[in-house]
Structures are given as C-alpha cells and as structure tokens.
C-alpha cells in the first residue's frame, strides 16, 4: 500500500499511528490503539486511546487525534486521510462513535486505513460510514 496523499504515504501514516499506540493508557483492556490524521494542509496529528475505570469515559485514539487537531489548528481542519493501528495484532476499524466524529471533518473521498482480519485495508470514508448523521449549520448573527 503506497498510495500517496500529499507527501505522506499511507504507510507513513500507519507507522505514525503505531508509534502513537505505544503511548496508550489502556490498563483495563490492554488494547493499545493509535491513530494518525493527515490534514489537508499536510500536517499529521496523532492520538492514542485513554481508558478510564468508568469505561464510558474512555476516549478512542481517533477522537483523541481529532480533538488535538482542532485544538492545534482550529475548527476549519479537514481530514485528507486517517490511519488506525494497534499493538495487539487484531482487526480494529474505527468504532461507530469515531466514524461519526471523524465524519464532521472528513470528506467522502478521504482515505482511511485500518487493520482487518485479512490485513490492512484502505477505503474511502463514505464506504466506512455510508449513512452517517449529517446536520446543516445555518449561520446566525453573533449573540452578545
């Protein structure tokens, strides 16, 4: 898999996701996941999963990377490509919550790469989340 998106290849993005997985805080599941997002501007932002004793408060690697990207580059970011990796050698496509969250910033043709039972798979985002929830925002005057 050597598809090029900007100057970063999907293989490069997977390596960055794997490095991010090494920083995982996953004492409960032991499932170490990392994500790397390639933004339209060429920046790469990574994240890892952070578990919590109250499992509902656990944050996935994809959402961690996305929150970092918005925090660092602002709400106008767009995701050109994303990669997910784990250190457990298991299939792990983004969960439903991550798919929907990424959809807010990814275009239908953004590429996402993740491990499957058959090996690494690359697909367009619209294939991963064909019927995602979408809401049109109307611009309104600023309120004081």
Positions marked active-site: 62
Give the integer Cα–Cα distance in Å for 12 and 61.
Answer: 17
Q: Give the gyration radius of the chain's Cα atoms.
A: 15
**Residue among 79, 84, 66 at smallest CA distance from 125:** 79
Tokens 């499957």 belong to: 116
């Amino acid at each position: 898999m050597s598809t090029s998106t900007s100057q970063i290849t999907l293989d490069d993005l997977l390596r960055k996701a794997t490095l991010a997985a090494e920083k995982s805080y996953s004492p409960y599941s032991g499932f170490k996941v990392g994500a790397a997002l390639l933004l339209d501007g060429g920046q790469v932002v990574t994240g890892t999963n952070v578990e919590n004793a109250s499992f509902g408060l656990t944050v996935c690697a994809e959402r961690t990377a996305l929150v970092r990207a918005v925090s660092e580059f602002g709400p106008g970011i767009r995701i050109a490509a994303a990669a997910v990796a784990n250190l457990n050698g298991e299939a792990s496509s983004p969960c439903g919550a991550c798919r929907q969250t990424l959809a807010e910033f990814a275009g239908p043709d953004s590429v996402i790469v993740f491990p499957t039972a058959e090996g690494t798979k690359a697909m367009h985002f619209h294939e991963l989340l064909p019927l995602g929830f979408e809401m049109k925002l109307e611009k309104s005057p600023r309120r004081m």
